[in-house]
Amino acid sequence: MKAHTKETQSTMTPEKSLQFLQEGNQRFQDNLKAHRNLLEQVNDTSEGQFPFATILSCIDSRVSAELVFDQGLGDIFSIRIAGNFVNQDILGSMEFACKLAGTKLVVVLGHTSCGAIKGACDNAKLGNLTAMLNNIKPAVNSVTEPKEDSLRKSSNLEFVDNVSAKNVELTIERIRNESDVLSAMEQAGEIMIVGAMYNVSDGSVSFLD
């Protein structure tokens, strides 16, 4: 499989880009990687890059977007931060990726058993981590069940995963509300902004409605 060129990128639509990622994740689950010559892709992308998607995911070592979607060099922009939330710098990176570099799809990828989500549920305190986890607290507060404090902890993995999915949803809302550039592109049909959850137990990605 060749690296994307300006010509192949121009044929990509938001819907086709989503299909490419879905097919890639199915290959990953089936342990059937697309054939790529990575050194050849290094050469092919040495003078430019033409990715089709931008993926915001967690720093979790189990959730590499390139691997779980079976993509090669030059295929996707990968933005990683614990808890996959956005701030001004990340929004600026997304605007560059979509408006200037031509990607057609933005994916906010959360995952099960997320350590950052667990930390926010438990009100973890540690240096700069404390302030970082404040970005996830709105998701914790938005999940109203269970109500018992003893069940709203990292030990309750169902609660953790529900918060993780809610965090994806709220992050997408922030992208739309805080980036006029991306919001306008989405409304014009130039890009899609979608959420997804990666299951660390079986390697599957479920795209959220």
pTM, whole model, 2 decimals?
0.95
- Whole-angstrom Cα distance, residue 182 to residue 1? 30
Maximum Cα–Cα distance for the chain, whole Å? 57
User: Domain 6-119+172-207 classified CATH 3.30.300.130?
Assistant: no
User: Residue 5: what pLDDT?
Assistant: 86
Domain map (residue ranges) of the chain: 6-119+172-207
User: Residue 1: what pLDDT?
Assistant: 81
Please state whether the peptide bond connecting residue 146 to the residue before it is cis, i.e. omega within 30 degrees of 0: yes
Burial of 61 (0-12, 13-18, 19+ CB in 10 A): exposed
Sheet strands (E) in 18-122: 53-57, 76-80, 105-111
Mean pLDDT by 10 residues, the chain (209 residues): 87 97 98 90 90 98 97 96 98 98 98 98 96 97 96 97 98 98 98 98 95
